[in-house]
Amino acid sequence: MKKWDNYRSDLANESFDAIIIGSGIGGLSTGALLALNGQRVLVLEKHFKIGGWTHTFRRDNYEWDVGIHYIGEVHKPWSAVRRLFDLVSDGQLKWSPMDANYDRIIFPDQSYNFTAPREQFVEDMISYFPKEEQAIRTYMTLLDQSVRSAKPYFANKAMPDLLGRITYPFMTRKFFQLADRTTYEVLSELTDNQEMIGVLTGQWGDHGLPPKQSSFAMHAFVVRHYLDGGNYPTGTSRSIAETISALIEKHGGQLAVNAAVEEIIIHNGAAVGVRLDNGDELNAATIISSTGVMNTYEKLIGSNQLPANIPASLQSVQKTESYVCLHIGLNRSARDLGLTNTNLWIYPGYDHDQNVQNFIQDPEADFPVVYVSFPSAKDEVWDQDHAGYATMEAITLSRWNWYDEWQDLPWKKRGEHYENEKEKLSKRIMDVVHRHVPGIKDAVAYTELSTPLTVRDLANYQKGEMYGINHTPQRFRQRWLKPRTEIKNLFLTGQDVTTVGVTSALFSGLLTASAILKKDLTNMLKS
């Protein structure tokens, strides 16, 4: 497991072209592309690990992901996703293909398999719902239409301000035909079969909003991404951060952990540097925030320095809900236990919105979703470092305000009541897991529950939000969510600039670096 250097005050005496705040995939991708284009980059990370949601953590022989569970399209060498990963990792990042059946959507009365390639997915859906063949085929067409129309929408974000404003109506018109509508609105026009709608939206946890709230565009991005199969980073998800950071270093950049930025320094309306929590000031011609728009504008920029429109803009977006994750350690290998690498999505009923509402009203109600992932079964080289052991993760929805009484207490020192509540919740989640993965019961040797407070403390999300900004139809209408800000020399990167997910954050780096360098870096993806 790679370790990175702690911040040293002598870095303040060095010269950098760009300082990046935060080492999530958006920050790393931006840094790598700038470094490849001759810029000297410094990445500052508050945590003691690089990678944001792409890092892992260990307990003895066990290792778990904190955010990455599967990625689509990278098994296709010609895909833009694979080419960008290859570019920013110097071709060192490898992938372990999942089984063709990448997701299983489980309801009390029946399970439904999502199986690659897309032709098989279509055949399976028709076999489940034979009277809905036309609706299913139309649905697939709409997925393609939504994804294709998004390309000019995102390209517009990297354009210079004047050109972007002039071209915006023409580049976004087709995209908004579907993005302006909820997932449920679009699907309910295709069919009145509520069970089928529940199945087709069975991956809503991948973006955090049930179908009556989410934009159809966000739904389409997720579903299309996996239609030809899922993959897992070989060597666990930390290999993403390790390989990209290595490229940054190879090209003269530096990364420092335990480097908490307290303030973006603004002088005469322009970002000129950053101030750390130890008082050190570092300067650069370009400042890039990968900490999310809320953190950037509410925590890192003084209210007297904010552009006049920003407070109202921040009020126009909503944070996603939070979650809890039960990290499970097994004292036998995935092979010995017969574990597959198919993700499980477990639901109490087909109406996802009602499931969520029931749970919000009564936290003792059935979990609206339990997502179960098997990293040790997905990673081809897992046994090289963890022979005889396996891990699982089980994730469900949570809310920040359920943890109000412990918000001001430090990590690992929140008291007996907090630990008791975690234990009760862990047991409830484990009961669900045992019903669907009964073969592990005698092999469970370790469990650890992360809560919204854990997410806040270790991922720097103010209210433990899972995916930054909610992907409602209104969210896609927020034109200010783009790389170039109204503060000169200050740029944004990460999932708030694009959409949720590791590949989206990866491409935010492409948009941000293109905006900074004032050139189209998509040409770097061409063979």
Helices (H) and strands (E) in the chain, counts: 18, 19
CA nearest to 128, candidates 191, 75, 83, 175: 191
Name all domains of the chain by residue range, CATH numbers in brackets: 9-59+234-317+470-525 (3.50.50.60), 118-228 (no CATH), 321-339+374-459 (no CATH)
Average pLDDT over residues 472-495: 95
Give the pLDDT confidence score for residue 1 in this predicted structure: 74
pLDDT tens digits for range 190-224: 999 999 999 999 999 999 999 999 999 999 999 99
Looking at residue 308, what is its pLDDT? 87
Segment 2-20 shows an average pLDDT of: 92
Asked if residue 26 lies in contact with residue 293, where contact means CB atoms within 8 angstroms, the answer is: no
Instruction: Classify residue 366 by burial, with Cβ atoms within 10 Å: 0-12, 13-18, 19+.
Output: middle
Runs of H (alpha helix) within 53-190: 80-88, 118-128, 133-157, 161-179, 183-190
In percent, the amount of the chain with pLDDT more than 70 equals 100
Most confident of 306-320, 399-413, 474-488: 474-488
**Predicted confidence band of residue 372 (pLDDT cuts 50, 70, 90):** very high
E strand residue ranges, 210-300: 230-233, 254-256, 261-267, 270-276, 281-289
The arithmetic mean of pLDDT across residues 429-448, rounded, is: 96
Single-letter amino acid code for the residue at 499: T
DSSP letter assigned to residue 405: G
Tell me the pLDDT band of 78, cut-offs 50, 70 and 90.
Answer: very high
What is the token pair recorded at 464? Answer: 């433990």
Q: What is the predicted pLDDT for the residue at 527?
A: 61
Q: What is the mean pLDDT of residues 151-157?
A: 94
How many other CB atoms sit within 10 Å of the CB of residue 172?
20
pLDDT tens string 290-347: 999 999 999 999 888 888 888 888 888 888 889 999 999 999 999 999 999 999 999 9
Coil, helix or strand at residue 123:
helix
Mean pLDDT of 88-112: 97
Determine the average pLDDT of the residues in 483-498.
96
CB atoms near residue 166 (< 10 Å)? 12
Confidence of residue 398 (pLDDT cuts 50, 70, 90): very high
**DSSP of 461-519:** -TT--SSSB---TGGGG-TT-SSB-SSBTEEE-STTTS-SSHHHHHHHHHHHHHHHHTS
Average pLDDT over residues 9-18: 94
Q: Which contiguous run of DSSP H or E holds residue 56? A: strand 56-59
**Residue owning tokens 């050190």:** 280
